[in-house]
């Protein structure tokens, strides 16, 4: 042999080489994780309900898996370990622990939206929300992983008539929560904070979540744009070009949180901060404390570009070719939201009906909304 090795000696060298290569690969995987003993999780192409719980270290987090095959980037293998529910949690969120495995992806991500009776009734926002998944580009399968949280009995009844995964959240309130609520009304503020309580419990049970307001239409898979290394990835009211900059203004109508112990603590501190800034809604308070969460707790926050995750708050002329979602924010009145979101889906269907050659001829941009968000209608006191 050219190297002067006998057959047995050559075999030993080959074995040594293979062992060394294997150890090197294992070391790279280890270094790629920021949680001791936990590597990057893989994403299954199937959508079963089983998942493996792995231990977590307090105050740390590991990055979620990369997106593949048009599927979500769910919780990393180092998800927050499920906690034993107290009696109060069991009664407040009865049945949630049993429902989540039926909704979650294989890797443990749940898409959550919430509705009251006004939003859930036929031909209202929940119908339009679900329609957008069917009209969207390869995202209809994600409906199987949407948990619709109803905040009143009639909303729950409407939901169960159209959607397989509905959860009735028992809201402790003497207010009527069934009708559409004005922005910053007492009932509106109570609802958005109740939403955080349920989301914290979802994380405690070991599941990551993507929360989406029901007045958002989905057009493409947003998980392609969820940051691999962030604890929280949120949409923006104002995006300044740098996804990691805390100078961006968040919009918590659409955000993803990975199931880690650090994320649970983030939700706990976020909820506790309500007492420091009364009265206010959760988005404004998150904006106030985002620096504290990043500095004191080490939370990694990423912001989504408004060119892809748009809304009615500003005149927008972004390209349909890159759009993922459209949010009927800065819009007063349920009928106005429905009108302009239906128009968005109409524009989208016209665009997706074009041939690839036709799409290349020019840039296709969104029209200004007719009833929402235009300068003559914009007012910071209106419903976002």
Query: For 241-270, how does the pLDDT look when each residue is reduced to its tens digit (9 = 90+)?
Result: 999 999 999 999 999 999 999 999 999 999
The model's confidence at residue 317, banded by pLDDT at 50, 70 and 90, is confident
Res 37 pLDDT > 70: no
pLDDT averaged over every residue in the chain: 77
pLDDT in tens, 123-139: 999 999 999 999 999 99
Distance CA 332, CA 380 (A): 10
Q: What is the DSSP string of 228-248?
A: SS-SEEEEEEE--S-TT-TTS
Q: Which residues 6+ apart lie within 8 Å of 197 measured at CB? A: 92, 271
CA-closest candidate to residue 211, choices 298, 60, 109, 280 = 109
More confident residue, 336 or 178: 336
Question: CB of 128 within 8 A of CB of 138?
Answer: no
- Assessment of whether the complete model's pTM goes beyond 0.85: no
Residue in the block written with tokens 């919430």: 114
Neighbours of 119 (CB within 10 A): 29
Q: What is the mean pLDDT of residues 38-50?
A: 31
CB atoms within 10 A of CB 369: 24
Q: Two tokens at 237?
A: 């009211």
Q: Who contacts 72 (Cβ-Cβ below 8 Å, separation ≥6)?
A: 43, 105, 107, 109, 142, 145, 210, 221, 223, 226
Cα distances (angstroms) measured from residue 3 to each of 9, 10, 17: 11, 9, 15
Mean pLDDT of 323-330: 93
> Distances from the Cα of 162 to the Cαs of 96, 180, 241, 268, 271, in angstroms?
20, 20, 39, 33, 32
């Amino acid at each position: 042999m050219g190297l002067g090795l006998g057959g047995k000696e050559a075999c030993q060298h080959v074995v040594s080489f293979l062992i060394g290569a294997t150890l090197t690969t294992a070391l790279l995987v280890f270094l790629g994780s920021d949680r001791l003993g936990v590597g990057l999780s893989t994403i299954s192409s199937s959508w079963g309900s089983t998942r493996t719980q792995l231990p977590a270290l307090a105050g740390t987090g590991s990055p979620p898996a990369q997106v593949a095959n048009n599927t979500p980037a769910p919780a990393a293998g180092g998800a927050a370990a499920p906690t034993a529910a107290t009696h109060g949690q069991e009664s407040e969120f009865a049945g949630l622990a049993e429902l989540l495995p039926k909704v979650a992806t294989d890797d443990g991500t749940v898409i959550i939206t919430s509705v009251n009776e006004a939003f859930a009734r036929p031909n209202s926002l929940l119908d339009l929300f679900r329609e957008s998944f069917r009209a969207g580009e390869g995202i209809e399968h994600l409906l199987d992983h949407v948990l619709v949280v109803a905040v009143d009995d009639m909303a729950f009844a409407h939901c169960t008539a159209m959607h397989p995964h509905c959860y009735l959240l028992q809201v402790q309130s003497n207010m009527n929560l069934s009708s559409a609520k004005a922005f910053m009304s007492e009932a509106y503020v109570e609802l958005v904070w109740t939403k955080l309580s349920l989301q914290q419990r979802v994380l405690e049970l070991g599941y990551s979540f993507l929360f989406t307001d029901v007045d958002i239409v989905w057009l493409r898979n947003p998980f392609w744009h969820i940051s691999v290394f962030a604890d929280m990835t949120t949409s923006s009211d104002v995006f300044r070009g740098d996804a990691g900059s805390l100078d961006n203004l968040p919009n918590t109508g659409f955000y993803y949180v990975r199931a880690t112990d650090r994320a649970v603590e983030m939700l706990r501190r976020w909820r506790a901060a309500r007492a420091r800034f009364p009265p206010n809604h959760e988005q404004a308070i998150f904006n106030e404390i985002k620096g504290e969460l990043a500095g004191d707790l080490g939370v990694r926050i990423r912001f989504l570009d408004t060119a892809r995750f748009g809304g009615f708050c500003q005149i927008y002329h972004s390209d349909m070719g890159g759009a993922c979602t459209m949010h009927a924010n800065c819009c007063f009145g349920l009928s106005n939201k429905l009108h302009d979101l239906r128009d968005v889906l109409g524009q989208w269907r016209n665009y997706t009906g074009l041939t690839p050659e036709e799409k290349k001829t020019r840039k296709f941009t969104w029209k200004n909304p007719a009833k929402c968000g235009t300068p003559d209608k914009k007012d910071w006191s209106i419903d976002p």
